[in-house]
A = this chain, B = another copy of it.
Amino acid sequence: MSATDFAGERSLRVPIVDDGDELRFCSTCAFGAVCLADGYDKAALKDLHCLVEHVGPFRNGEYVFRSRDRFDAIYAVRGGAVKTCLVDEEGREQVLGFHLPGEMIGLNAIHPAHYPCDAIALDSTWLCRFSFPALAMLAARMPAVQQHLFRLLSADIGKASMLAGDTSASERVSAFLVNIAGRFANRGFSPTRLRLSMSRGDLGNYLRLAPETISRVLRKLQDEGFIRVAERDIELLKPVELRRLARCILHE
């Protein structure tokens, strides 16, 4: 395939959102609206700020945390992308998920008290680090923070629905593209143009498909006019049709 790049592609690289300031959280921190909406005062806001630490950049392939590390913090992706994965005793990797700006990682480590998976940067990646003991203490004083944490945790249950059902390769790839595009759109990025931060291998691993199958499906979707593929840049040409292809997986 000839490498026809998109015009303005540069804006797709390493998406990152605003930095916030002393009295406003960066929107990725997932706690931005909590305090102000509930009328907490500046002291409370400051408490919340004190337990946030901006970390990064992590480079492609660097570990944010490793399986079996002791759990002490959850993270929000601020810019870049992270994959979470397991490695079995034979060294085979299993990708559990991808995490884009505005999304949390580490929530599944609270219970076992150790991270149950690796978290690896896929791009130049920045994160917000929340000390969990401090956050839990604050939550006990501020019901809105507690509620927010409950919701964050609840939202993460059943997120593996991408692999659900008796679905074909095209359905799964379509669902993935629609899902990713939607998540980018939620954070203010283009709803139809996106840059995949993961390799075909990682993507196939996540969707339980061979990398070759990913290639073939992307080509087929392009031949059918649903998408445009240029390396890792994807444009959704017919989002509605794609969504219809994927409706069994996305549950409308």
Q: How large, as a class, is the contact surface on chain A?
A: 35 or more
Is A50 part of the contact surface with B, judged by Cβ < 8 Å? no
Please judge, given known A-B contacts A140-B143, A252-B89, whether A158 and B155 are in contact too, CB under 8 Å: no
A203 to nearest B CB, angstroms? 14
Q: Are B166 and A86 neighbours in the complex by a CB distance under 8 Å? A: no
The answer to whether B107 touches A157, judged by C-beta atoms less than 8 angstroms apart, is: yes
Bound Cα distance A86, B110 (Å): 28
5 closest cross-chain pairs (CB), A and B: A110-B154, A153-B153, A111-B154, A111-B155, A108-B157
Seen from chain A, the residues whose Cβ lies within 8 Å of a Cβ on chain B are 86, 88-89, 92, 94, 96, 107-112, 116-117, 136-137, 139-140, 143, 146-147, 149-160, 163-166, 208, 247-248, 251-252
User: Can you offer 8 A-B residue contacts whose CB atoms are under 8 A?
Assistant: A89-B252, A92-B248, A112-B154, A136-B147, A140-B140, A140-B146, A146-B146, A153-B153
A136-B147, A150-B153 known, 19 other contacts, Cβ within 8 Å? A88-B248, A89-B247, A92-B248, A96-B158, A107-B154, A107-B157, A109-B154, A110-B150, A111-B151, A111-B152, A116-B158, A136-B146, A136-B150, A140-B146, A153-B157, A157-B157, A157-B159, A158-B160, A163-B164
